[in-house]
């Protein structure tokens, strides 16, 4: 007989094909992880925007030094505050700035990865304390890197 006929008669199945996993659902927690994911994504976007602004600023400063900017642009640039990357540890400012932005981007990706894992474990096991602890330490590292990057930029 076919399995569908056998199962309809109440006979136990020959073998179980899948394990049942309880899923816990809390809309408040789901909303929290959605907001956290959106926040991390927005931070990454703003960080990339700041990196491009720093690159553009370095290009303008190089143009000012070489004197290849048109003279009508110079008065507008002279009154604007400029951020300069400090030369720490002997690295060139361009290399150091890009490296710092890359490190910050990696930390943000780590935060996003841990938050996704925490949300999944919360749904599967009903708890995610270990991931929350990892998330707290990863956020602290990210904050520390962001503060270092902020200190690298000095107003003249």
- What is the predicted pLDDT for the residue at 11? 54
Per-residue pLDDT tens digits for 90-148: 344 444 556 778 888 888 888 888 888 888 888 788 788 898 899 899 989 988 888 88
Q: Is the pLDDT of residue 83 over 50?
A: no
100 closest CA partner among 41, 26, 151: 151
**Domain boundaries defined on the chain:** 24-154
Q: Is the pLDDT of residue 68 over 80?
A: no
- What is the predicted pLDDT for the residue at 27? 77
Alpha-carbon distance values, 57 to 50, 51, 103, 131 (Å) = 10, 10, 21, 39
- What is the predicted pLDDT for the residue at 86? 37
3-state helix, strand, coil in the chain (%, to 5): 70, 5, 30
Q: Whole-prediction pTM value?
A: 0.53
């Amino acid at each position: 007989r076919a399995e569908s006929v056998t199962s309809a008669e109440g006979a136990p199945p020959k073998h179980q094909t899948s394990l049942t996993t309880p899923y816990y659902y809390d809309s408040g927690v789901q909303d929290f992880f959605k907001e956290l994911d959106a926040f991390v994504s927005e931070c990454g976007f703003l960080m990339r925007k700041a990196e491009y602004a720093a690159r553009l600023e370095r290009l303008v400063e190089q143009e000012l030094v070489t004197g290849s900017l048109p003279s009508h642009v110079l008065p507008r640039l002279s009154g604007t505050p400029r951020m300069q990357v400090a030369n720490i540890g002997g690295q060139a400012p361009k290399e150091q700035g890009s490296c710092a932005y890359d490190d910050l981007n990696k930390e943000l990706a780590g935060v996003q990865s841990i938050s996704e894992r925490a949300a999944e474990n919360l749904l599967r096991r009903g708890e995610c304390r270990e991931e929350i602890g990892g998330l707290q330490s990863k956020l602290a590292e990210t904050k520390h890197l962001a503060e270092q990057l902020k200190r690298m930029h000095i107003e003249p």
